[in-house]
Amino acid sequence: MTRQPVFEHEATPAAVPPPSAGDVPGRRPQRFGLLPYRRWGGPLRPGYHAVWPIARVALVLMFRRKLFWVLYALALFTFLMFFFGQYLLAWALSQVGEQRIPLWQGGPRINPTWLIQQVRDGLGINGSPQMYRTFLGYQGSMVMVVLALAGSLLVGNDFRYGSLPFYLSKPISRWHYLLGKCLAVAVFVNMMTTLPAVVLFVQYGLLQADGVRTAWSYFTEQRWLLLGIVGYGGILTVCFSLLLVATACWLRRTVPMIMVWAALFIFCRLIAAALVNWLHGPATCRLIDLWNNAYLLGSACLGLEMATVRPQPQPSLWQAALTLAGVCLGCLIYLNRQLRAVEVVS
Amino acid sequence: MELLELNSVSRRFGSRWALRDVTLRLGPGRIGLLGPNGAGKSTLLKIIMGLLEPTSGTGHVLGQPLHEDGTWRRQRIGYMPEADALVPGLGGAEYVALAGELAGLPRRQALRRAHEVLSYLELEEARYRRLEEYSTGMKQRIKLAQALVHDPPLLLLDEPTSGLDPAGREAMLQLLRVLGQEHHKSLIVSTHLLGDVEQVCDQVVILNEGRLLFQGNLSESSGRRHDRYVLHVEGETTAFLDDLRLEGVRLLDDNGRGRWRVAVPPGWTTRAFFLLADHHQVVVRGLRRDDEDLEELFRRLVSAQGRAGETAVDQGAAPGDGVQAGGDEAS
């Protein structure tokens, strides 16, 4: 979108006077600072270009706090365990030969490859969909903790310190603002979930390469697994970002944020477990556990049967999907109302 | 092209009218927007910025119809809010560059413009400091910088001198004058401080209870009183004053040091002051016409509307219906 001069006296880019010439011929303009005032005659971009700057600034503000680096490092511990676990097991496999070895002197002989495979399966570090589901589950728990702390910083402060009128007085719509904030949360969530999971997938593929099979053939064979990982990450991203932005918009401060977040993801889970496991209520009672719903959908993305989800019984997939969709829709309606109520000119 | 053109624009919130039948035509320039609380200033600004649509009426802002997409207008408008509206944690340059990016500038250009504008506004030394560490004067200037970064032709300034000390206020007003006069920015200054409007603006719009009370040049508003003078005399003034009264001159105000504000009868000439002074052996040290200043005009218009509203209520009509909107009321 090219910015057209509105008034006759507005200079076009070609007619921009040199800074020292000023706007009034023959008269030196009054100068305040070191530089004179200069005109801008270039194009101005449409509102959707503002989404990334909003997200970028939110991320910058978050990562300026040391606490988030510490939490991020802590969250990467799980990833490092999986990463080096995979590597060590692959290395061990490459070191053993075909010969059977005795478990102890004079004892039964076993195949070391079989033993390592047992350890691999036992630990669940075997490149299977279950491994990624477990990994994303662990990472997701860590993400929830970090987001509870980040919510007030990402969104709450905009309400508390009056930054919102600043954003909304610019040529962007309220949805651009919301999209920018959700994008910031999405980047953060994916940095802790999808990205490490994809790294594990790539690492596993590379470790599988041998004389017969290339890494590329693994990637092409397992492309649905990769899509499943991305899909699970997408579910976590959409649900968490909308829920976080809505909660932060409502509460604005860190401590209430943590309390509500804990209620949503810990107490709801405990209540659901109590209702279904101890009081033998219907499986649909688990629907109040949002984390479980995301887990069910993630399992489906990874191509896993619902029967593999523990504990049983579980609600059906469509019920979980419908619940999460309802929560996301509720968040969107709430955010729309909250943002419409902001007084840009007070 | 007109800066702003409104034809019978009204805006209602529930049962309350925030703006009522406002017809306004403003050319480029420096415009003061005056009115007491609840006058409809904020609603008018929101309509100008495209954040709100009028309930009825038509109009154009910068040539764009009011009912069209407001983002086009906001790309051509820089808004300086009254409240802080800062992003805590950001440095000055980052904040202004963010404003530029939100306005549609590419990142590199936004950064460059941010540094230029901050330097122009004498904030170059504070541009890397966190916004929380800024003083009130610096906050006001950085708010102006974020409004100015994309070089809009129109600046909407909401209480630009709010919270400033006298020196800071004077500097801000000087800056606004220069932006208007030398860089040809059109300014709409919404304020309660009439002195700010007198110092910066060449046009004034006065609103009260959602109605337009006055619109015109400041020189027009102050040049309408030809029967008032400020008279400064020295000597024995008792007999002189008695004679003035006999001639039909009314003494409105006496400062006790030989300076009076007087109202003269129709047909009075200034020469008569000197003839009487000469007759009574007093010296006329000063004589100037006592034009109505903005504050007096504002008070008169607002109180006239209040009286008209009361009368209308007494007669069973809606408040404000008896007041003639527009410049006729002020004349």
Residue scoring higher pLDDT (A33 or B128): B128
Domain B39-197 shares a fold with domain B228-289: no
Residue A32 clears pLDDT 70, i.e. is over it:
no
Say what the pLDDT of residue A135 is: 93
Half-sphere exposure of B291 (CA within 13 A, CB side): 9
A274-297 as b/e: b if 16+ CB within 10 A: ebbeeeeeeebbbbbbbbbbbbbb
With an 8 Å Cβ cutoff, are A345 and B76 in contact?
no
**How far apart, in whole angstroms, are the C-alpha atoms of residue A137 and residue A143?**
10
Instruction: Name every chain A residue with its beta carbon within 8 A of the beta carbon of B82.
Output: 346
Mean pLDDT of chain A: 85
Residue length of chain B = 331
A172 vs B contacts (CB less than 8 Å): 71, 102
Nearest to B81 among A3, A64, A169 (CB): A169
| CATH numeric code, B39-197 | 3.40.50.300
Sign of dihedral through CA atoms B197, B198, B204, B210?
positive
Determine the Cα–Cα distance for residues B18 and B3; give it in Å rounded to an integer.
Answer: 22
Where residue A31 falls among pLDDT bands split at 50, 70, 90?
low
Q: How far apart are the first and last CA of chain A?
A: 30
The minimum CA-CA distance between B230 and chain A, rounded to whole Å, is 35
Give tens-digit pLDDT for B49-88. Answer: 988 889 999 999 999 999 888 888 999 999 999 888 899 8
Dihedral of CA atoms B172, B178, B180, B183 in degrees, nearest 10, equals -130
| A-proximal residues of B, 128-187, CB under 8 Å | 146, 150-151, 153-154, 158, 174-175, 178-179, 182-184, 186
Which candidate from B102, B121, B154 shows the least CB-CB separation from A170? Answer: B102
Nearest to A57 among B85, B98, B116 (CB): B98
Domain assignments of chain B as residue spans, ordered by start: 39-197, 228-289
Handedness of CA B312, B316, B317, B318 (dihedral sign): positive
Question: What integer is the mean pLDDT of A170-178?
Answer: 91
Chain B: closest CA distance from residue A54 (Å): 8
**Mutation target among B82, B102, B132 for the A interface, most CBs of A within 10 A:** B102
Percent of chain A, pLDDT > 90?
A: 43
Q: pLDDT digit string (tens) for A196-252?
A: 999 999 999 998 877 777 888 888 888 999 999 999 999 999 998 999 999 988 888
| Closest to B287 (Cα-Cα) out of B233, B216, B210 | B233
Amino acid at B151: D
Degrees, nearest 5: CA angle B25-B52-B99? 95
Using the beta-carbon criterion (under 8 Å), do A163 and B86 form an inter-chain contact?
Answer: yes
Residue A50 is nearest to which of B94, B101, B151, comparing CB atoms?
B101
Proportion of chain B above pLDDT 90, given as a percent: 38
Overall average pLDDT of the B322-331 stretch: 34
Residues of chain B contacting residue A170, judged by C-beta atoms under 8 Å apart = 74, 99, 102-103
Instruction: Inspect the interface and report whether the beta carbons of B103 and A169 lie closer than 8 Å.
Output: no
* pLDDT score, position B219: 72
| Mutual angle of helices A317-340 and A290-301, in 10-degree steps | 120
The alpha-carbon gap from B322 to the nearest alpha carbon of chain A, in Å, equals 29
Alpha-carbon distances of A122 from A125, A259, A303, rounded to whole Å: 8, 36, 20
Q: Determine the average pLDDT of the residues in A136-148.
A: 88
What chain B residue is nearest to A166 in terms of C-alpha separation? B85
Choosing among 1.10.220, 3.10.310, 3.30.1370, 3.30.70, the CATH entry for B228-289 is 3.30.70
The domain locations on chain A are 1-44, 50-95+127-339
Is the pLDDT confidence value at B321 over 70?
no
ipTM here = 0.81
Contact A163 B42 (CB under 8 A): no
pLDDT tens-place string over residues A91-138? 888 888 777 878 788 888 888 888 888 888 888 888 899 999 999 999
pLDDT at B307 over 60: yes
Residues 46-85 of B with CB under 8 A from A: 46, 49, 51, 62-63, 70-76, 79, 81-85
Average pLDDT on A315-344 reads 91
pLDDT band, residue B225 (cuts 50/70/90): low
Q: Within the 106-135 window of chain B, which residues sit less than 8 Å (CB to CB) from chain A?
A: 106-107, 109, 113, 116-124
Which residues in chain A have their CB less than 8 angstroms from residue B93's CB? none
